[in-house]
């Protein structure tokens, strides 16, 4: 039986891993829509390879190039924010949400409203609009499958168990490239150093987030929405080998963990095939070669991000959206060479210190909170 698929953010790292899996089971999938921000040539190439019905660029100025690249292929081309939402709303059996940042939120919501299966990698959407998104999932009868490796691990460990029996959920964190760096060294960390993740090959934003530990902070908030055990049952442990992707401990003392190679094709495959399994070409886990698994408590002095995220979740309302927006602005500024590495968490903390807007109750209100928080964070980039 063939199923239909749409990938939001098809030209990125998650998009590429997803398409790699589809390439190996072409007869089982029909691609409806592929989207990107710009990268028209690459998007057109993928749309042609996979016989997509529609290709969409979020940045409308890239549409002429996309049209040109697709001319004569019969593949429809579109551009702009609304076109991204339309692509998400084509009613595919499975939609992979792999846009980076809050830019993916409106398309994610459009996909949820179709009531199909959403494989969610775009954690920022859930951080910014958690309650609203989870509510929409319920209302529209959508199936939300967590694709982020930790959340996918937890999702797998929860199968067949009652959520009431959970004692702890433990998210593992690699600790990133600066795990052992002093505060002094961190203040001088360069863009190139931050972009070298020890275990995972990912897009630039999440790679910087892994170095600051904001990735784990965002994931804490993500887990809080996905798995209703309460914030105080969510813990983080640093596990530099990234072999255990997360764990669930039950009240009888049993801990279930999911292990696998540091390859996003594993959790993506778990979403694509769910509730069944599919083959992947991923290198099997070789524990004897890995030899040692180690674990450390996170150091929130050097890496305040997880503490800021926990506080934002505790504050609730607009705070997580503000945290996410400020982080997106600060990471972009760091990547552009405007601020130092340690200023990223300082800017997020200062943005959260400003008076918070009222709790958003709709998608439009979340986007307004996001926009306002970006403005405030950008003002902090100006030299004092």
- Tell me the closest approach of the beta carbon of residue 56 to ligand NAD, in angstroms: 9
206 binds ligand NAD per the rule CB under 6 A: yes
Distance, C-alpha 13 to centroid of its chain: 11
Tokens representing residue 337 in the block = 């060479």
Span interacting with ligand NAD, options 66-74, 121-129, 318-326, 359-367, rule CB under 6 A: 121-129
CA-to-CA distance for 344 and 212, rounded, in angstroms?
A: 8
- Tell me the closest approach of the beta carbon of residue 200 to ligand NAD, in angstroms: 5
Q: Which is nearer to ligand NAD, 65 or 124 (CB)?
A: 124
Q: Which is nearer to ligand NAD, 354 or 368 (CB)?
A: 368
Draw the binding track, 122-141, toward ligand NAD (x: CB under 6 A; -: no contact): xxx-----------------
Give the N- to C-terminal CA distance of the chain in Å, as an integer.
Answer: 61
65 binds ligand NAD per the rule CB under 6 A: no
Draw the binding track, 35-54, toward ligand NAD (x: CB under 6 A; -: no contact): -xx-x---------------
- Tell me the closest approach of the beta carbon of residue 222 to Mg ion, in angstroms: 8
**Do 309 and 222 contact (CB within 8 A), yes or no?**
no
Q: Return the SS3 of 253.
A: coil
Closest CA to 67 of 59, 58, 55: 55
Span interacting with ligand NAD, options 7-15, 190-198, 243-251, 299-307, rule CB under 6 A: 7-15
Give burial (CB, 10 Å; 0-12/13-18/19+) of 188.
exposed
State which residue has the least CB distance to ligand NAD. 12
Interface residues for ligand NAD in 8-37 (CB under 6 A)?
Answer: 9-15, 36-37
- Tell me the closest approach of the beta carbon of residue 239 to Mg ion, in angstroms: 12
Span interacting with ligand NAD, options 62-70, 93-101, 242-250, 303-311, rule CB under 6 A: 93-101
Residues linked to residue 238 through DSSP beta bridges, in sequence order: 173, 296
Pick what 14 binds: Mg ion, ligand NAD, none; C-beta below 5 to 8 Å, kind-dependent.
Answer: ligand NAD
Is omega for the bond preceding 275 within 30 degrees of 0, making it cis?
A: yes
264 binds ligand NAD per the rule CB under 6 A: yes
Span interacting with ligand NAD, options 3-11, 175-183, 187-195, 354-362, rule CB under 6 A: 3-11
Pick what 99 binds: Mg ion, ligand NAD, none; C-beta below 5 to 8 Å, kind-dependent.
Answer: ligand NAD
148 binds Mg ion per the rule CB under 5 A: yes
Helices (H) and strands (E) in the chain, counts: 17, 11
**Do 292 and 239 contact (CB within 8 A), yes or no?**
no
Helix intervals (H) in the chain? 13-23, 40-49, 63-70, 81-88, 105-112, 123-140, 149-158, 183-187, 191-194, 204-212, 214-226, 265-273, 287-290, 305-315, 319-335, 341-353, 363-379
320 binds ligand NAD per the rule CB under 6 A: no
Span interacting with ligand NAD, options 5-13, 176-184, 292-300, 303-311, rule CB under 6 A: 5-13
Can you tell me which of 54, 63, 88, 100 binds ligand NAD, judged by CB under 6 A? Answer: 100
State which residue has the least CB distance to Mg ion. 148
**Do 181 and 340 contact (CB within 8 A), yes or no?**
no
Span interacting with ligand NAD, options 92-100, 226-234, 347-355, 376-384, rule CB under 6 A: 92-100
CA-to-CA distance for 84 and 150, rounded, in angstroms?
A: 27
**Do 206 and 100 contact (CB within 8 A), yes or no?**
yes
- What's the alpha-carbon Rg for the chain, to the nearest Å? 20
- Say how many residues touch Mg ion, by CB under 5 A: 3
263 binds Mg ion per the rule CB under 5 A: no
CA-to-CA distance for 239 and 330, rounded, in angstroms?
A: 26
58 binds ligand NAD per the rule CB under 6 A: yes
Pick what 262 binds: Mg ion, ligand NAD, none; C-beta below 5 to 8 Å, kind-dependent.
Answer: none
CA-to-CA distance for 125 and 97, rounded, in angstroms?
A: 9
Q: What is the contact surface with ligand NAD in residues (CB under 6 A)?
A: 9-15, 36-37, 39, 58, 84, 98-100, 103, 121-124, 148, 200, 202-203, 206, 264
């Amino acid at each position: 039986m063939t199923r239909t698929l749409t990938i939001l953010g098809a030209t990125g790292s998650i998009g590429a891993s997803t398409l790699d899996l589809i390439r190996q089971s072409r007869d089982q999938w029909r691609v409806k829509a592929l989207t990107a921000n710009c990268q028209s040539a690459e998007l057109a190439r993928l749309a042609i390879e996979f016989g997509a019905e529609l290709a969409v660029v979020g940045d409308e100025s890239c549409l002429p190039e996309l049209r040109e690249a697709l001319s004569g292929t019969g593949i429809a081309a579109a551009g702009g924010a609304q076109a991204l939402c339309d692509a998400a709303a084509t009613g595919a059996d499975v939609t992979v949400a792999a846009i980076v940042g809050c830019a993916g939120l409106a398309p994610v919501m459009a996909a949820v409203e179709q009531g199909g299966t959403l494989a969610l990698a775009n954690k920022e959407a859930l951080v910014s609009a958690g309650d609203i998104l989870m509510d929409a999932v319920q209302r529209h009868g959508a199936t939300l499958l967590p694709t982020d490796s930790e959340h996918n691990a937890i999702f797998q460990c929860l199968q067949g168990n009652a959520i009431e029996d959970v004692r702890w959920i433990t998210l593992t964190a690699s600790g990133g490239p600066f795990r052992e760096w002093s505060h002094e060294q961190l203040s001088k960390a360069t863009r190139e150093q931050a972009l070298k993740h020890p275990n995972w090959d990912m897009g630039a934003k999440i790679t910087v987030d892994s170095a600051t530990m904001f990735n784990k902070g965002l994931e804490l908030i993500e887990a809080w929405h996905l798995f209703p055990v309460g914030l105080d049952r969510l813990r983080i442990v640093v596990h530099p080998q990234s072999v255990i992707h997360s764990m669930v401990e039950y009240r009888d003392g049993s801990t279930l963990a999911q292990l696998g190679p540091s390859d996003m094709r594993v959790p993506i495959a778990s979403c694509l095939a769910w509730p069944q399994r599919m083959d992947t070409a991923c290198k099997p886990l070789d524990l004897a070669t890995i030899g040692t698994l180690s674990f450390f408590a996170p150091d929130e002095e050097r890496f305040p991000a997880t503490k800021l995220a926990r506080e934002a979740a505790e504050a609730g309302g607009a705070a997580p959206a503000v945290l996410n927006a400020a982080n997106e602005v600060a990471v972009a500024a760091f990547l552009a060479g405007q601020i130092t590495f340690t200023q990223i968490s300082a800017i997020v903390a200062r943005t959260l210190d400003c008076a918070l807007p009222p709790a958003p109750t709709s998608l439009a209100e979340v986007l307004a909170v996001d926009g306002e928080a970006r403005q405030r964070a950008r003002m902090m980039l100006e030299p004092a």
